[in-house]
Amino acid sequence: MNFLKGYTKQEKSWMMYDWANSAESVIIVTILPIFYDTISANSSAAISRWGMGTSLSMLICALMAPVLGALGDFKGMRKKLFMAFMSVGIIACALLAFTPQMDVTSAAGSERTGMLILALYIICSIGHAGANVYYDSFLTDVTTDERMDKVSTMGYGLGYIGGSTIPLLIFLILNLVGIEMTVCLSIAFALTAVWWAVFSIPIFKNVHQVHGITPYKGALRDSLKGLAGTAKEIFANKRMFVFLLAYFFYIDGVNTIIHMSTIYGSSLGIDSTQMMLALLLTQVLGLPFAMLYIKASEKFGTRTMICTGICVYMFICVFGFFISSAWQFWVLAVLVATSQGGIQSLSRSMYGKLIPDKSRSGEFFGFYDIFGKFSAIMGPTLFGLTTAFAQEKIMENMGIDYSAPARVLDAVSAQASPWGVLSVLIIFIIGAVLFFFVFPKKQKENR
């Protein structure tokens, strides 16, 4: 990997965790919803349940994040807690490998399997998100403010060419050579768990907590009490507070598109293989576009490139409302590839540079995570509720109810779902206004 020349051993080891956990982000977040929708009797109900399940997992993560961050600031604790949450995610992911082999031939069997899938998805999401609180806070341990944009963005780039691409490609190859779909799904979920575990080894070996608080008697009590003080400190810092408020909205839109894209495409009747190939293209293009964001942020500034990413996503919401065929889903996938990694990585590094006390980076990143996770409750819920409301209105106008034939309900779902994706535009608009016009500029922004 010649493009990693110039990075330190610690930086490369930190970036490799994105290579490790990105497998979960693609296989579990994109393929699992399609499987869930397939075994569900009603696509609109599946979208609504999946949105609610995603929101529940994000609510749990959001409530835990500040406390987790504070605990991780004690020297020697960050890596232990990181490993604990990662292990929870990996175990839940491994257990998902058994669900495709369960009985889904009856309505009762499908319901039981669907509930188990949702439960394991929520647990896996909690493990993934909890580990990421500590992974993000390790950023201040492995690099400097001057290199943070570059290291953060390259981490996302490695995730795209590794974890986001290779397990998905293996799944597609197994499917294309004629292996039964349930077997392909079991292999994909099991491979994801193994991939996540194996490629996390470098971060355990080479990344160590540099900044932190030395434990003392009563330190935990003082630290938890200090969360209120940290919150006040954030609210008093206008740049940090407005940034987090804007981030709350625009990253919610990004996460909603990520979590709901495949179940949305499935509700429109787009072939699952076409969707998987389009998503593979998204991951393949992720690295070059992430590197482009690095170069562009050096020239135009981090703020300008985050603004660019928000605008791209606003267009994605409008374009997504009109898609009805596979080729349009491909275009949507390319549009997402242009900015997904860039907007996430530059947001993370911009916040890292705003932290006034690096020894409390875990605590500050805990609040960063709570803004990100609480926002992730809003978007999927809005998507699901808007879709359900639109479906009710369409069915009312047609004079039908849920006893109608499945093909009729599927047609109604295909008409209702686009209103869900369009509703996400509202979230991006609010985030854009806050970031474009309210977030204070530095006198001289670093480029």
3-class secondary-structure state, position 445? coil
Q: How far apart are CA 110 and CA 101, in angstroms?
A: 12
Query: How far is it, in rounded angstroms, from Cα 400 to Cα 411?
Result: 12
Q: Who's near 443: CB < 8 A, 6+ residues apart?
A: none
Residue with tokens 């004079």: 399
Q: Is residue 443 part of a domain?
A: no
pLDDT above 90: residue 103 = no
pLDDT at site 445: 46
Q: Is residue 33 part of a domain?
A: yes
Higher pLDDT, 121 or 152: 121
> Domain tally for the chain?
1
CA distances from 359 to 21, 67, 102, 338, 436 (A): 26, 16, 48, 34, 30
Structural domain for 136, as ranges: 2-438
Question: Mind listing the pLDDT tens digit for each residue in 245-303?
Answer: 999 899 888 888 876 777 777 777 777 778 878 878 887 887 788 888 888 988 898 89
What 3 state SS string does 227-287 have? HHHHHHHHHHCHHHHHHHHHHHHHHHHHHHHHHHHHHHHHHCCCCHHHHHHHHHHHHHHHH
Residues facing residue 74 across a β-bridge: 213
Quick count: other Cβ atoms within 10 Å of Cβ 233?
18
Domain assignment present for 30: yes
pLDDT digits (tens, 9 = 90+) for 334-380: 998 899 888 988 898 888 888 887 777 767 877 777 777 666 667 77
Would you say 251 and 344 are in contact if contact means Cβ atoms under 8 Å apart?
yes
How far apart CA 23 and CA 175 sit, in angstroms, is: 18
Give a yes or no: residue 182 inside a domain.
yes
pLDDT of residue 375: 60
What would the pLDDT profile of 139-164 be if each residue is shown by its tens digit? 888 888 888 888 887 887 788 778 77
Distance CA 132, CA 224 (A): 20
Nearest to 368 by CA among 354, 379, 380: 354
| CATH code, domain with 261 | 1.20.1250.20
- The DSSP result for 282-334, as a single string, is HHHHHHHHHHHHHHHHHHH-HHHHHHHHHHHHHHHHHHHHH--SHHHHHHHHH
Tens-place pLDDT, residues 26-51: 888 778 888 887 887 666 677 778 77
CA angle 149, 153, 156 (to 5 degrees): 155
What pLDDT score does 310 carry? 95
By mean pLDDT, which of 6-15, 198-207, 360-369, 409-418 is the weakest? 360-369
Task: State the pLDDT at residue 100.
Answer: 92
Query: Quick check: 241 pLDDT over 50?
Result: yes
Q: What DSSP line would sit under 148-167, residue for residue?
A: HHHHHHHHHHHHHHTTTTHH
